Amino acid sequence: MLKWTWISAVVLLLDQLSKLWVVENFALYESVSIIPYLNLTYVHNTGAAFSFLSTAGGWQRWVFAAIAVIAVIILTVWLKRLKRDETWLAFSLSLILGGAIGNLYDRIAYGYVIDFFDVYYQQWHWPVFNVADSAISVGVTILLIDTFFNERRESSTA
């Protein structure tokens, strides 16, 4: 089932190209309104999801990088062991894998993750995120839905 890794490669490519574009066209913390409720805002995230531990002093860079390496290994082995009919699971894991590699690259190369999607409503802003984060979120959502429906199918056939 490693044939699905092309999806991971596409996610990685889109993630890195979009980050390069933002870095080349925006100053740090610069924000441009795209449409209502969406800005492009260039930020550095030294923490994990939602900037968790972003002010921890630097040690978190390597801890999060190590966690990402372990996740990449687990996802790759999991993908390799899937059955042919587990297409939604393969798709979801490939999205997660591509996103994990994209953010891992940033963390190792720069010491932070480049984020730029700023979704907001009035004064409330969701934490700024990127293409890799989006792929991970969509992948996890598909994984949860697939797991839920597979469990329901298996329990109804038992």
| b/e code 36-51 from CB counts within 10 Å (16+ = b) | eeebbbbbebbbbeee
pLDDT the model gives residue 149 = 84
Catalytic residues: 115, 133
Q: How far apart are CA 9 and CA 81, in angstroms?
A: 19
Residue 158 is predicted with a pLDDT of: 54
Buried/exposed 55-80: b ≥16 CB within 10 Å, e otherwise: eeeeebbeebbeebeebbeebbeebe
Residues paired with 114 in a beta bridge: 44
pLDDT at 1: 61
- Note the pTM of the prediction, 2 decimals: 0.87
- Three-state DSSP at 112 gives coil
Query: Can you tell me which residue has the tokens 């797991």?
Result: 147
Judge contact between 42 and 30, C-beta under 8 A.
Answer: yes
Contacts of 77 (CB under 8 A, 6+ apart): none
Amino acid at 120: Y
The pLDDT, as a whole number, for residue 59 is 64
In tens digits, the chain (158 residues) has pLDDT values of 678 999 999 999 999 999 999 999 999 999 999 999 999 999 998 766 655 555 555 666 677 788 889 999 999 999 999 998 899 999 999 999 999 999 999 999 998 999 999 999 999 999 999 999 999 999 999 999 998 887 666 666 55
Q: Which residues contact 40 (CB under 8 A, 6 or more apart)?
A: 22, 26, 31, 32, 34, 116, 117, 118
> What pLDDT was estimated at residue 62?
75
